[in-house]
Every structure is written in C-alpha cells, then in structure tokens.
Amino acid sequence: MIPLPPECRPRLAPGARLQFDQARDRWVLLAPERLLVPDDIALDILKRCDGERSLSGIVDDLASAYDADRSVVDADVQELLADLMAKRVLVT
C-alpha cells in the first residue's frame, strides 16, 4: 500500500453517499451496486472525508478525539482509505 500524502483531501466518489438507514437503524455507505455498513470508527473517519479537510487534519482530529497515538491513527486511517479507494467509493 502506498501511503496517501498528508495534504490530500479525501471525499466520497461521485455517486457515493453516506446515509442513515432507518430499516437498519444505522449509517450506511451507498454507492452504485454497493452497500457498505461502516463500524463506528470507520463512520467517524468517513464523516470527516468531506473534500475540505486534509488527511493530516483528519488524523490530527481523530487522534485528539480518541486520545490515541497519532502514528497508530494515521496507519488505521490510511488502511481504511486505501480499502475504500480500491472499492471506488472514495477519491482524493
């Protein structure tokens, strides 16, 4: 996995959206021919992927919110974003 640059600004891909699903009583990530159900931490990351915030800013915010080591948060965020980019539901 090639790490994303800290200045990139991840956002949902065209056609993808984060939506609360009443039937499931939870948030889902909808994309053409896909439905992903993020866990709570993935949801926190996705909510910050608005195309405005840099990856570095997202990692800083999460490390502060969870009182966690920044390098651990960065590795986890990088892994999730790489997976979502491979599924074509996230772009930078």
At 2 the pLDDT is 79
pLDDT tens-digit readout, 62-73: 999 999 999 999
At 25 the pLDDT is 94
How much is the mean pLDDT over the chain?
A: 95
Measured between alpha carbons, how far is 59 from 57 in angstroms, rounded to an integer? Answer: 5
Q: Which residues in the chain come in under a pLDDT of 50?
A: none
Residue positions counted in the chain: 92
Domains and CATH numbers, the chain: 11-91 (1.10.10.1150)
Which single residue is written with the structure tokens 């056609």?
Answer: 15
**Any idea what the Cα angle at residue 85 is, between residues 62 and 80, rounded to 5°?**
35
Which single residue is written with the structure tokens 């909510």?
Answer: 47
